[in-house]
Amino acid sequence: MLVMDKKRDAIIEGAIKRFIHYGIQKTTMNEIAEDLSVSKPSLYYYFPDKSSLIEGVIQKIFDDYFEVTEKELLIDMSLDERMNNLIEIRFKFFQKYYMLHLSGTSPDASLNSDELKARFMDMKRKNVDVHVSIFKKALDKGEIAETDLAKTVELYLESQMGISSLCIMHGNKELFPSKKEMKVMLDKQLSLSKIFIKGLK
């Protein structure tokens, strides 16, 4: 069982490397099999189609993200500091996995599976839950005034996501954004967070 898990993990890692370099839509299952020197039947044993492989990749990325986030939550700090740190964490993941955001000229059906959409929704809910718990602690400590935590967190996260989306929309879809463009995005997210939290006090 451990050997199978290692093989599955190796396939996911190989897919991530190729996705980061070429983007999801320009990568085929055959290319991943060739990169890893595994047979196509072996690849399809672990992942019956590209959608299931993408789902495995997304799960791995989010698992890594939540692992880093949960370590961050063990440290006691103010709400302002915590949110700034979480923005920095998300920014590093955004930088590393930028190519996974890109969509080419022809939509890839494997990106539209119901299972993949459900996985994204699960991860989104988990992220909301993490942030609700952060804001709840801030409320209990008197850092912010009474508010509808779920709605507040949803607005906060969607505002932050909007800034990331603008960076993707304005960037060249074939190239990584410049350091200046990425810095502007990070600065905007930090500024928005500061204004948002100040309004909750």
Can you give the three-state secondary structure of 96-139, one letter per residue?
HCHHHHCCCCCCCHHHHCHHHHHHHHHHHHHHHHHHHHHHHHHH
Any domain includes 182 = yes
pLDDT at 103 over 60: no
State how far the Cα of 133 lies from the Cα of 150, in Å rounded to an integer: 10
pLDDT at 112 over 90: no
116 touches 58 (CB < 8 A): yes
Helix (H) or strand (E) holding 158, with range, is: helix 149-170
Of 28-37, 125-134, 169-178, the range with the lowest mean pLDDT is 169-178
Q: DSSP strand E in the chain: where?
A: none
Any domain includes 16 = no
pLDDT band at 133 (very low <50, low <70, confident <90, very high): very high
- Can you tell me the mean pLDDT for 37-64? 92
pLDDT band at 119 (very low <50, low <70, confident <90, very high): confident
State how far the Cα of 123 lies from the Cα of 118, in Å rounded to an integer: 9
186 touches 91 (CB < 8 A): yes
Look up the CATH number of the domain holding residue 182: 1.10.357.10
pLDDT band at 97 (very low <50, low <70, confident <90, very high): confident
Any domain includes 150 = yes
pLDDT at 104 over 50: no
- Could you tell me which of 199, 120, 109, 200 has the C-alpha nearest to residue 161? 120
Neighbours of 60 (CB within 10 A): 15
Average pLDDT, rounded, for the chain: 88
Any domain includes 37 = no
Any domain includes 160 = yes
- Which percentage of the chain shows pLDDT scores above 90? 66
State how far the Cα of 189 lies from the Cα of 88, in Å rounded to an integer: 9
- Domain with 150, as residue range(s), is 57-200
State how far the Cα of 35 lies from the Cα of 33, in Å rounded to an integer: 6
State how far the Cα of 187 lies from the Cα of 164, in Å rounded to an integer: 11
The structural domain count of the chain equals 1
Any domain includes 40 = no
What pTM value is reported for the model? 0.86
pLDDT band at 11 (very low <50, low <70, confident <90, very high): very high
- Can you tell me the mean pLDDT for 56-70? 94
Looking at residue 38, the DSSP 8-state letter turns out to be -
The CA-based diameter of the chain, rounded to the nearest angstrom, is 59
What number of helices (H) and strands (E) belong to the chain? 8, 0
pLDDT at 140 over 60: yes
pLDDT at 99 over 80: no
State how far the Cα of 140 lies from the Cα of 138, in Å rounded to an integer: 5
Any domain includes 20 = no
Amino acid at 124: K
